[in-house]
């Protein structure tokens, strides 16, 4: 496995993309199951630690089709982000975007910095 790729994703919050699995999840369950901090990447697969409950999952290489780095903001940082966004918006004279839960839409995980 390419060492540069390993170094890039290690210790970052990422989504692991797999071939179809034999379980059906809602949006919140998808995030809880496939998004986590990458603890290890080796020839056998990827070990992650889930953000909310600190449980760990290992995904075998043969099942992985992709990995994507995510922007993750802790709940206490949301208020700071809202304040910064409000100041920026006031300067631009644009309306403030409504805050939503990460679980409302998977894209909210990557779009939180736009708020």
- Specify whether the CB–CB gap between 71 and 81 falls below 8 A: no
Question: Are 90 and 83 a contacting pair, CB within 8 Å?
Answer: no
Q: Does one domain contain both 81 and 65?
A: no
Instruction: Compute the mean pLDDT over every residue in the chain, rounded to the nearest whole number.
Output: 77
63 plus 8 within the same structural domain? yes
Count how many domains the chain has. Answer: 2
Provide the residue range defining the domain that includes 91.
75-114
Radius of gyration of the chain (CA): 16
Residues 61, 86 within the same domain: no
**DSSP string for residues in 88-100:** HHHHHT-PPPPP-
pTM, to two decimals: 0.61
Q: Give the pLDDT band of residue 96 (cuts 50, 70, 90).
A: very low
Kindly state the tokens that stand for 99: 């805050």
54 with 95, same domain?
no
Tokens of 79: 């208020």
């Amino acid at each position: 496995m390419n060492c540069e790729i390993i170094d890039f994703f290690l210790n970052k919050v990422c989504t692991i993309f797999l071939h179809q699995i034999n379980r059906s999840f809602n949006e919140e369950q998808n995030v809880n199951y496939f998004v986590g901090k990458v603890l290890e990447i080796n020839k056998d697969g990827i070990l992650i630690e889930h953000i909310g409950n600190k449980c760990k999952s290992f995904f075998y290489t043969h099942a992985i089709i992709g990995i994507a780095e995510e922007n993750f903001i802790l709940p206490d940082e949301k208020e700071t982000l809202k304040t910064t966004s409000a100041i920026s918006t006031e300067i631009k004279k644009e309306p403030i975007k409504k805050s939503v839960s990460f679980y409302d839409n998977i894209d909210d995980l990557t779009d939180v910095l736009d708020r």
